[in-house]
Chain A
Amino acid sequence: DIQMTQSPSTLSASVGDRVTITCRASQTFSNWLAWYQQKPGKAPKRLMYRASSLESGVPSRFSGSGSGTEFTLTISSLQPDDFATYYCQQYNSYFFTFGPGTKVDIK
């Protein structure tokens, strides 16, 4: 099974900051990599799919990139609504695996 790691696990940032979250896989897989945002008590919300495709309705300050074993989610200018936990998720050979999450909180 592919294992996913995320870094950092917690990120303290200010409104307006550029934020980058990294997701690494234990082995190479095709670019079926998605990113989700989750707020306390709510279901996750998909932000990106296929590594770099922006979900409809998601602000363009979110972007995704990467291939192979390393992927990134970037928020170009952090907004108050963006303080949340972010998860990456991969699909390979019939199984889905989530990363452990990155909590973005207020500095």
Chain B
Amino acid sequence: EVQLVESGGGLVKPGGSLRLSCAASGFTFSNAWMSWVRQAPGKGLEWVGRIKSKTEGETIDYAAPVNGRFTISRDDSKKTLYLQMNSLKTEDTAVYYCATESYYAFDYWGQGTLVTVSS
């Protein structure tokens, strides 16, 4: 059974940093293309960024609102995906989901972790 478990969310002040983790199991993580998707309270879904597998060069793409502030990485030996978030803004407040990708869409999702940016 595929499982994705996010952790690391919490309350952080504007300008601060936070690192999220996504622990994967039940599939060959090293072959997976992985994304982060977020959802602000009461709002819709917003793609944050994606990292491809090592065989695809671990290419990373980011959405414009986070480009230059967020960094996605992966540790295939630990089957873990990361999201390093720097220079956080109040508008980054959201539930952050990690998800696997197939057919250029997201098939398996974690339960999400809440990040609140507030002074």
Check if A95 sits within 8 Å of B106, measured CB to CB: no
Check if A32 sits within 8 Å of B104, measured CB to CB: yes
Q: Chain B: how many interface residues by the 8 Å CB criterion?
A: 20
Chain A's interface size range is 20 to 34
- Interface of A: prevailing SS: strand
Q: How far is the CA of A95 from the CA of B111 in the complex (A)?
A: 23
Q: How far is the CA of A19 from the CA of B64 in the complex (A)?
A: 34
- Interface of B: prevailing SS: strand
With a cutoff of 8 Å between Cβ atoms, the chain B residues found around residue A97 in the complex are 47
A85: min CB distance to chain B, Å: 8
With a cutoff of 8 Å between Cβ atoms, the chain A residues found around residue B87 in the complex are none
Encoded as 1 (CB less than 8 Å from any A CB) or 0, chain B from 43 to 62 comes to 01111001000000000010
With a cutoff of 8 Å between Cβ atoms, the chain A residues found around residue B110 in the complex are 43
B38: min CB distance to chain A, Å: 11
Q: What residues of chain B have their CB less than 8 Å away from a CB belonging to chain A?
A: 35, 44-47, 50, 61, 63-64, 97, 102-107, 109-112
